[in-house]
């Protein structure tokens, strides 16, 4: 599992959760990923899925992670979607990447949101 990434901040909140320094309400986990409930949910179901490796964003994850890590991560996302009963009514999967997206934690992660109608993805603001 690659861990050397000079752009990665090993003191980000998700790294601390993975090390057990900050508690998180576990949903489930796998060899290469961990899922937990968001502490400030934006929907009735709001789960975060993070890889165990030190990846800053989706591009970093896809570029540097092993095929086993990538498959394991996305299989866990699918498993959670099914176990949280998100598939029948639909859900939103969000992953911000970089400053223009509003990414707050520099550790690749996916938000799974559902449990109610979520409305449009973005406002109609232009500019």
109 as an active site residue: the answer is: yes
Q: What is the largest CA-CA distance in the chain?
A: 42
**DSSP 8-state symbol, 99:** G
Tokens of 73: 């991560």
Rounded Cα gap, residues 4 and 78, in angstroms: 28
Candidates 32, 107, 109, 111; catalytic one: 109
Tokens of 127: 């500019």
Q: List active site positions.
A: 109
């Amino acid at each position: 599992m690659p861990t050397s990434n000079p752009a990665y901040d090993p003191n980000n909140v998700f790294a601390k959760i993975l090390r057990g320094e900050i508690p998180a309400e576990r949903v489930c986990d796998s060899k290469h990923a961990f899922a937990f409930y968001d502490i400030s949910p934006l929907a009735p179901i709001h789960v975060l899925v993070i890889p165990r490796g030190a990846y800053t964003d989706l591009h970093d994850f896809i570029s540097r992670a092993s095929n086993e890590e990538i498959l394991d991560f996305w299989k866990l996302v699918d498993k959670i979607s099914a176990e949280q009963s998100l598939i029948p009514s639909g859900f939103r999967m969000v992953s911000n990447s970089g400053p223009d997206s509003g990414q707050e934690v520099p550790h690749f992660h996916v938000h799974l949101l559902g449990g109610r109608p979520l409305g449009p993805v973005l406002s109609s603001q232009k500019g």
